[in-house]
Amino acid sequence: MRIVVKLACISMFAVLSGCSSLNPFASKVEPRKQPAALVDFQSTLAVRTVWSTLIGKAKAFTFSPAVIGNDIFVAAADGSIARLNAASGNPVWRIKADVPLTAGVGSDGNTVVVAGENGSILAFDVNGKERWRAQASSEVLTVPAVGQGLVIVRSHDNRIIALDAGTGLRRWVAQRAVPSLTLRTVPGMTIAGSSVFIGLPGGRLLALALSNGGARWEAAVGDPRGTTELERIADISGVPVIAGEDVCAVAYQGNVACFAISTGSVRWAKALSSDVGLGVDERFVFAGDESGAVTAFTRDAGLSVWRNDKLTNRRLSTPTPFGPAVVVGDIQGYIHFLSRENGAFLGRVGTDGSAILSAPVVAGVNLIFQTQSGAVVALAIE
């Protein structure tokens, strides 16, 4: 198990719920959990670094780039926010918020949103000018979801608020119970159609109506089991992914599963414990488990197609389809290209040696990674 450090909730939250959270990305690695040595292989995929730039360190948080058209929005813990040209990496603008940041970046191409310390929410226009500020009820670790004129924010106390993207005024609030023990990870949110799909602690996937925050359905991706609170952790990991008429998600000590978007009825579910998200293409669902193995499942029925277990304890990022490969980053800053067809290694690229925790994003012909030390790297396949 990768959890080695226990962190107390913020004081108000602790008083209200008696909850605590566990950090799966502690800096020290147990001796028996050392990352597996990298295996030698004959590279069959030509990968090149298109550009690289620095934004700032993530520190104890995870920051994910947002790609909108020809732009990439990135942020760092020290308050740095930048808009980069996706093709060249050159900054269009770079600003610094007056508060340290804990999550970002969310954008719909018109509004750029980040979360600051103590639950502050900051919104900017695409030229970097501040539009408004709002306040969440507790710390925000999840990237705000922006779309349909709304900014959706999930704070650490499991309160979900919808803010008007233009003014920051609150439109609705939804609250869900919090388990007594959770992972200090960043379960995400996805806006699709008239709903927002939200991963929650406790292994629940929630669909809310964007119009009023009413629950359309709620489904279990992982049911808490066991005799101790630690054994009963079953939190959603990563961002729910839309796959045609389905939405798919994965949970720590739970399952990888796909559900009907409209009703929440389960299409299929397979036992798998993951503390990162999953990737989807036209045929497969790709999931990385907590041990570092990557598995491909058929999208229609959840049948296991292949499994690569050569990256044990390397703390992989979300598997992301790109060209003929599914790509993962690891704790030492390596980026691994695996065959979509059989999971074999196709290529490998090093970055700055720091962990890659956020999910990579595709920007045209480039794949964008952000490391914990603040490098933003664009890769392309020749």
Encode pLDDT of 194-219 as tens digits.
999 999 888 899 999 999 999 999 99
> Which residues, 6 or more positions from 65, have their beta carbon under 8 angstroms from its beta carbon?
72, 73, 74, 105, 358, 361, 368, 370, 376
pLDDT given for residue 182 in this prediction:
55
Would the pTM of this model clear 0.85, i.e. be above it? yes
Nearest alpha-carbon partner for 366 in 81, 40, 85: 85
DSSP-derived letter for residue 14 is H
pLDDT given for residue 375 in this prediction:
98
Fill in the amino acid letter for 97. A
Q: Which long-range contacts (CB under 8 A, 24 or more apart) does 39-45 make?
A: 39/310, 39/345, 41/344, 41/345, 43/345, 43/346, 43/347, 43/348, 44/346, 44/347, 45/323, 45/324, 45/325, 45/337, 45/346, 45/347, 45/381
Structure tokens at 64: 């994910």
Encode pLDDT of 276-298 as tens digits.
999 999 999 999 999 999 999 99
> Which residues, 6 or more positions from 353, have their beta carbon under 8 angstroms from its beta carbon?
332, 333, 373
Q: How far apart are the first and last CA of the chain?
A: 38
Asked whether the beta carbons of 60 and 103 are under 8 A apart, the reply is no
Number of domain units in the chain = 1
Asked whether the beta carbons of 379 and 370 are under 8 A apart, the reply is no
pLDDT given for residue 11 in this prediction:
35
Encode pLDDT of 80-116 as tens digits.
999 999 999 999 999 999 999 999 999 999 999 999 9
Identify the CATH number of the domain in which residue 85 sits: 2.130.10.10
Asked whether the beta carbons of 96 and 80 are under 8 A apart, the reply is yes
pLDDT given for residue 113 in this prediction:
98
> Which residues, 6 or more positions from 322, have their beta carbon under 8 angstroms from its beta carbon?
337, 360, 362, 367, 381
Asked whether the beta carbons of 166 and 148 are under 8 A apart, the reply is no
- Residue 81's domain comprises 5-381
Nearest alpha-carbon partner for 276 in 342, 200, 198, 187: 187
Fill in the amino acid letter for 381. I
Structure tokens at 134: 């709002």
Asked whether the beta carbons of 74 and 65 are under 8 A apart, the reply is yes
* DSSP letter string, 164-183: ETTT--EEEEEE----SEEE
CA distance linking residue 56 with residue 377, whole number of Å: 13
For the chain, the average pLDDT equals: 90
pLDDT given for residue 1 in this prediction:
36
pLDDT given for residue 369 in this prediction:
97
Q: Cis (ω within 30 of 0) for the bond into 105?
A: yes
Sites in the chain below the pLDDT cut of 70:
1-32, 179-185, 224-234
Asked whether the beta carbons of 297 and 285 are under 8 A apart, the reply is yes
